[in-house]
Structure 1
């Protein structure tokens, strides 16, 4: 894991010192809220419905126990005892007092963390595959390149006031767990003729105009990657719309100019940019890679795991659901669900964060990851330690065996917190999880991704959910549109709208109708929801959701 250099530490300290002075000026009235707004956004501070919200970066989702403990400490001392992990691999504190924010930022700096560029029209927190460095299907660990991009983009003088925000994601595996096609730039590590390189995707994004990104280059060499990215962002920074914020994202620029013209402009800009790098980026990347050596894996028997798996059905259920194959024999990737049935997706208490920090230190080579699916990952756990790990997770409500199941819902904060939201997300997610837990259908349903957004900004990624739910305001009443067939993977696809939306009191019933229709029409127990939808199309689901009026009246009678 990357550790701050003296330069990094001094840089963060100076930024925090500047912001402390800006906060003092806001509190004493020297700055109006309008004047303060761009200053606070540069430091990850939002003004939400009820209070300020501080968004803290967790670059490419990587943490160690010291960082996680500090996040717990901040939640306990300056917030309400919990934090919210987001789909951008950040953590949000929803209740900080303005005069406490500089102290929070200093506390983050003590463990090599910050909130810089988690908001504003800049390059945001770089996200990555949460199994990076551990996955059995990985071509190469994407985290060193993610760190290189983070350092390049932080306070980049050309990219601090762009047309809109800009998001970059990278994966090192052919199985895309980083939603790269829904980002402004998506990067996939590929191998060609024995050489590692990068496929670059541009113009993806969700929100009010969802688009799947287009491949701008099938293969960029490692030495060309950073200048190529600079060329892309530079071209968009010139072409991007500044007259209409709804048309300012690079996806609109690509759509308006066409991918061929964008590629031509990027290639021309790349020819200008590359000589200015003079190999400095490759020297920096070589230094960064020294921080990402694999841990000292141990070779030990797995008898304890085998015995627990054979004799303990609760452990076996958790192992079947929450463990993923590791690249090292005898190890597993353990996913910790922070979505117990009826709880808020993504919320973790200070106590739970402290426990996860302890477990990472004890069993996980001191590494944790935050997934874009709002769960926590211990990427390196020896199988012999998994029974003990599971037992300790149970004590604090973190052993829910539902990763990838219907209650493992992605949800934005919605109208409970967000000033932009037009409907609630959290209560709908809670009701769905409880409903299917009571029906005892989760494991029969199998792999299914439900994603919920409380407004068209799509922070809950509803467009790429197998079942997507979008909350809207219809004449002062919450109404929920449903989409089917979305996919966030390497086969990225936007979902299809089923038809008219549903009121809040009916949306969970609608989801149950969709699921029961799937169970009735799937070809076998092994056919997933997404496979069934691709085979049957919308028709059986639409027929079940919107029966003819005569039949509906008969049913009512």
Structure 2
């Protein structure tokens, strides 16, 4: 993973000192709330329903075991002993005291972490596939390109006060898109042209929130040397023409739709002509430098399917289910990618206690070269586990609550913190997740249902990505009461789509019944090998709607 140089350390240390002074001035009433607002947002600090919330950046989801232990220690000393991993591969502390935040940032800086640009109207944390660098079918490792974008966008004065927040995701896999690139302000697909040269397909204007949209292609191939200048042209056009009079219409997706992709492309091309060959053109040596931070670990020469693994798969249903759902093929023979699920029943999805974080760090040290990944689905990943150690790892995971064998199934849901914490939320999310977990607690039935993405958001900001869930649940306010709107048909991969609303919203106690009826329709109508999204696309919404809203006899 990327290691800070002297400039990185200096920049982060200076930012900590600046924010310490800003915070002291605010607490001494030398700065007003309005003056302090942009300062705290640039340092990842929100004011939530009951306490501040600090969002810590985890660039492209990469964590060292030492960094995770620091996060655990901070959660224990400054928070309430846990943290929340988000869909943008970051970690959030929900209960820090404002006066402690500068100290937290100082401790993060000691392990090369920060909270810079995790909030506010700027370019946020760049995300990518949690399996980057270890899967066989990717074109190249996208992490060096994510690091390039991170260094380019951090502290860039043009991008500190954009019309609205701005999110970029990178994918390098033709067979899967685990980064949900099509619902980002900019989505980048790494590809090769006929000459074998690396470049990018650029998608622009995607996003969720109040007006969800799937992005559209603005360029089929931008050479990698021109990546930053092309991104700069896009962001400049947005910065110049994006609306600032209405925050609900300020995202780039609104501008792209208003102009049309052809006109937007013309404006980007015109802007690009003026900056195409400036100092942001990336020389090959810089790509080599960044790539040097993402070299392979010292893999052993191993063979697949060692005897202890084969025997355990035959003897243990619990282990074989975990192996099937929570591990993934690795590019190296004798290794496996393993997901530590944070979706155990009774635990808020994405939450990890200080003890769990420390245990995950221990597992990374023991089994996976001292590194972890954070996934878009709010789980943790050990990228490099020897197959002959999988049985031992499984036993360790069971003890820590990481072995729930439901990855990709209905109860492996994405869920925002919702009204239990967030001041913007219309309704609670976590109780809905718990209700669904309780309703679908039979593993045999979950496996029969098969892969199904269920996403929950507490408000229209869509932090739980409900729009692109095969089943999406949105908290809404109905005359001061918490209700939930249900949509179906969303997807976030290469075939991204926005779900359609079933109809009127439901009371909290009805949600598990509604999900059960949706699943019943799917099970009764599916053909062999069809997942929920396939059946929905084949038969449409009508049968699902009729089943859900049918009156009992």
Alignment TM-score, normalising by the size of structure 1: 0.97
Which stretch shows the higher mean deviation, 430-439 or 536-545? Answer: 430-439
Q: Which residue of 1 aligns with 2:13?
A: 13
How far apart, CA to CA, are the structure 2 residues paired with 1:304 and 1:78?
43
How far apart, CA to CA, are the structure 2 residues paired with 1:265 and 1:169?
22
Unaligned runs of 5+ residues in structure 1 are: none
Q: Which residue of 2 aligns with 1:444?
A: 448
Which stretch shows the higher mean deviation, 294-303 or 79-88? Answer: 294-303
SS across alignment from 1:472 = strand
How far apart, CA to CA, are the structure 2 residues paired with 1:93 and 1:208?
25
How far apart, CA to CA, are the structure 1 residues paired with 2:151 and 2:221?
23
How far apart, CA to CA, are the structure 2 residues paired with 1:279 and 1:44?
30
SS across alignment from 1:96 = coil
For the pair 1:255 / 2:260, whether they are aligned, the reply is: no
Q: CA deviation at 1:7?
A: 0.5
Mapping of residues 379-398 of structure 1, within 5 Å: 379-398=383-402
Per-residue CA distance 1:489-528 (angstroms, 9 max, x = gap): 011011111111111111111011111111111123x221
SS across alignment from 2:118 = coil
For the pair 1:419 / 2:420, whether they are aligned, the reply is: no
How far apart, CA to CA, are the structure 1 residues paired with 2:251 and 2:283?
27
For the pair 1:543 / 2:532, whether they are aligned, the reply is: no
Per-residue CA distance 1:8-32 (angstroms, 9 max, x = gap): 0011000000101111112222222
For the pair 1:199 / 2:201, whether they are aligned, the reply is: yes
Q: Which residue of 2 aligns with 1:303?
A: 307
Per-residue CA distance 1:433-453 (angstroms, 9 max, x = gap): 111005852111110000011
Q: 1:462 to 1:278 in 2, by over 3 A?
A: closer
Determine if contact 1:342/1:431 at 8 Å carries over to the other structure. no
Mapping of residues 35-114 of structure 1, within 5 Å: 35-114=35-114
For the pair 1:484 / 2:484, whether they are aligned, the reply is: no
For the pair 1:465 / 2:478, whether they are aligned, the reply is: no
For the pair 1:178 / 2:179, whether they are aligned, the reply is: yes
Q: CA deviation at 1:280?
A: 5.0
Determine if contact 1:226/1:281 at 8 Å carries over to the other structure. no
For the pair 1:531 / 2:534, whether they are aligned, the reply is: yes
Aligned length: 549
Which stretch shows the higher mean deviation, 275-284 or 186-195? Answer: 275-284
Alignment TM-score, normalising by the size of structure 2: 0.98
Mapping of residues 152-551 of structure 1, within 5 Å: 152-174=152-174, 175-193=176-194, 194-277=196-279, 279=281, 282-301=284-303, 302-438=306-442, 440-524=444-528, 526-547=529-550
Q: 1:268 to 1:390 in 2, by over 3 A?
A: same
Determine if contact 2:82/2:354 at 8 Å carries over to the other structure. yes
How far apart, CA to CA, are the structure 2 residues paired with 1:440 and 1:406?
12
Q: 1:281 to 1:185 in 2, by over 3 A?
A: farther
Q: 1:278 to 1:252 in 2, by over 3 A?
A: closer
How far apart, CA to CA, are the structure 2 residues paired with 1:303 and 1:220?
47
Question: What root-mean-square deviation, in Å, do the aligned CA atoms of Structure 1 and Structure 2 show?
Answer: 1.2
How far apart, CA to CA, are the structure 2 residues paired with 1:191 and 1:284?
19
How far apart, CA to CA, are the structure 2 residues paired with 1:470 and 1:288?
40
How far apart, CA to CA, are the structure 1 residues paired with 2:363 and 2:228?
36
Q: CA deviation at 1:236?
A: 0.6
